[in-house]
Structure 1
Amino acid sequence: MHNNTPVIAVTLGDPGGIGPELIAKLFAENEVFADTHTVLIGDRWLWEEGQRVAGVTIELPEVTTFTEARKYDTPVFLEMDTVAQEQTAYAEANEHGGASVLAVLDRCIEGYKAGEVDGICFGPLNKYAMKLGGLGHEDELHWFVNKLGVTDFFSEFNTLGTLWTSRISSHVPLKDAHTYITEERIISAATLIHDTLRKAGFDAPRVAVAGFNPHAGEGGTCGREEIDIIAPAVEKCRSQGYPIVGPFPADTVFLKARDGELDAVVTMFHDQGQIAIKMLGFDKGVTILGGLPLPVGSPAHGTAFDIAGQGKANLTPTRNAFNLVKAMCSQ
């Protein structure tokens, strides 16, 4: 491997969920890690438990720093001691598991700041457990933003490979969503996802903006956000050279996306896009934390407490997440 081969940190996710099982299944697929220096980071007992549940046995060389991974052509293991096995249980969100997740991710960020890590792929997290464990933000994206000192616009992207979504507001009460609809946020969201798609290998991204009101406001008879805010924001994007289109009614724009006419949809609030994209492909979706200075991704599903520890977890979204982080590191 050459010196510019990316170092990608992979974490096991919440101890009470399906993350450790999924990561064990991922590391059983050697071909996934070609052209990377991949570092699995976390507690040894949790890695061993993930292998047990997945029914695999994987021997990884051990390192004490991310930098050492560049000496190897195969994945390596960087051990951390963050939580005892007796402090966690399957299908349980608690402060110990949440604090463990934050500690591991913090070590990955330290590695990035030191120039040792180029991308992060994390196993599924539980926001409630993380908040019990010390998360003082609404979600992990805002935590990353704070840790990395990001001051520009940021957004969570959900992807199905050829279809991406971003949103103007995210994990906020629906009654507050309208307060986030501003020209500045719409322009930032649309241009950010366009530029990120370019980094992910799309040569000419096709991005549409959804309306906020039913039927995109019906000419102002069912709300004026489309006329007063959203359409002017789209025009400003176009004046800056971005081929953004819209606003389109949110209940039909995803039909265009499904039929391959669009690469991305900018939605106005969380469920407007999440319901559609999970219906279109919950079994393969990926979450990318957009606006960060490095690629950070995860399977779009949660910790799936209902099947944790049973060996039933579907690897596809996790494999897709790693491959997308890998592709973005290479751009």
Structure 2
Amino acid sequence: MTEPLSQTAGPALPVVAVTLGDPAGIGPELVARLLARADLLALANVVLVGDAWLWDEGQAIAGLQVPTQRVGSFAEVRGRSSTAMPAFLPMDTVRPEQVVRAQAGAAGGASVLAVLDSCMDATLAGHIDAITFAPLNKHAMKLGGLKHEDELHHFAQHLGVTGYFCEFNTLNGLWTSRISSHVPLKDVPKYLDQQRIIDAASLIYKSLQQSGNATPRVAVAGFNPHNGDGGTCGREEIDIIAPAVQKLAALGLPVQGPFPADTIFLKARAGELDAIVTMYHDQGQIAIKLMGFSQGVTVQGGLPIPITTPAHGTAFDIAGQGKANVDATANAFKIACRMGQARL
């Protein structure tokens, strides 16, 4: 269902683009559940971006009909007189016969790239303030033309980022970043240097402030078992991590650590920390996902625009079954709204 666009100026809300994710996964269903909630729509001027047939399919799987207001370009969205329903900017990126549900495919990956690139271009042009994308599939995206190890590096290149960037994973107010990400575990020591730790801690501190936390409590995890046990289990804590924390303090950032990786999340769970800088992907991801798999969010840190997504994947095992839990997508959208508002 679509409604005509009014040209009168709308309220001062951030314009947040929402995309449908991989067409073979649970993304379209999640977006239908997300945009059916009036409490969430009240947080932003939302523009849904994607293929019309895929949006119809997502609503059908979710058992919902969500009214939208069709627009012909991103430039039309900010001037809407009412944001009670989402705008819908249809794109033609993939045909139904090119998609096999629950299977990664090149056509689906290329579709995801085309939609996300159009949203990034619109943000750079000043038409939207933040992006939330439904789950994507890295294998499908690589089949569809992704030239990088992950979507974050694609975003960074597309947006012309030259400084430090990394993924943040968040859960119920706790944020994590990492010094190394999608690399083999054997290569992690190559990424351990003081400057990367300083950059990661500084970035997560500033990003938390941008999301509304004025005085974030940030700590750094150790790398070795038992924090190195005074050097008997490794010297990275002594030679690299602790000196980086000291330099952060000298810069005026109240960052703590290093703390043993096997206990630092107990401090977080007790409410003593707002953010943890980890040394590699699973050091933080295992803990976050155990603490709340269906709630977690990934924030693409270090980019000039806020981009968020649920931390879980495309869930091919339940795609098309109407079982997808929208909580993480809703949390991702809320963060995008807060960070987008800070840009206005």
TM-score over 0.5 for the pair: yes
Aligned length: 331
2:23 match: secondary structure: coil
Q: 2:63: which partner in 1?
A: 55
- Out of 313, 327, 330, the residue aligned to residue 316 of structure 1 is 327
Alignment of 1:1-331 (within 5 A): 4-70=12-78, 71=80, 72-73=82-83, 74-331=85-342
Deviation track 1:109-137 (CA, whole Å, cap 9, x = no partner) reads 11012111110000000000000000000
Structure 1: any 5+ residue segments left out of the alignment? none
State the one-letter code of the partner of 1:328. Answer: M
State the one-letter code of the partner of 2:179. Answer: I
Deviation track 1:133-167 (CA, whole Å, cap 9, x = no partner) reads 00000000000000001111101000013111000
1:294 match: secondary structure: coil
The structural deviation recorded for 1:89 is 1.4
Separation of aligned partners in 1, 2:44 and 2:260 = 42
Separation of aligned partners in 1, 2:184 and 2:227 = 21
Please report the TM-score for the alignment, with normalisation by the length of structure 2. 0.95
The structural deviation recorded for 1:2 is 5.4
Deviation track 1:68-90 (CA, whole Å, cap 9, x = no partner) reads 11214231100000000010011
Structure 2: any 5+ residue segments left out of the alignment? 1-8
Separation of aligned partners in 2, 1:284 and 1:130 = 24
2:262 match: secondary structure: helix
8 Å CA contact 2:318–2:324 kept in 1: the answer is: yes
2:48 match: secondary structure: strand
Separation of aligned partners in 2, 1:36 and 1:259 = 32
Please report the TM-score for the alignment, with normalisation by the length of structure 1. 0.98
8 Å CA contact 1:41–1:77 kept in 2: the answer is: yes
8 Å CA contact 2:43–2:334 kept in 1: the answer is: no
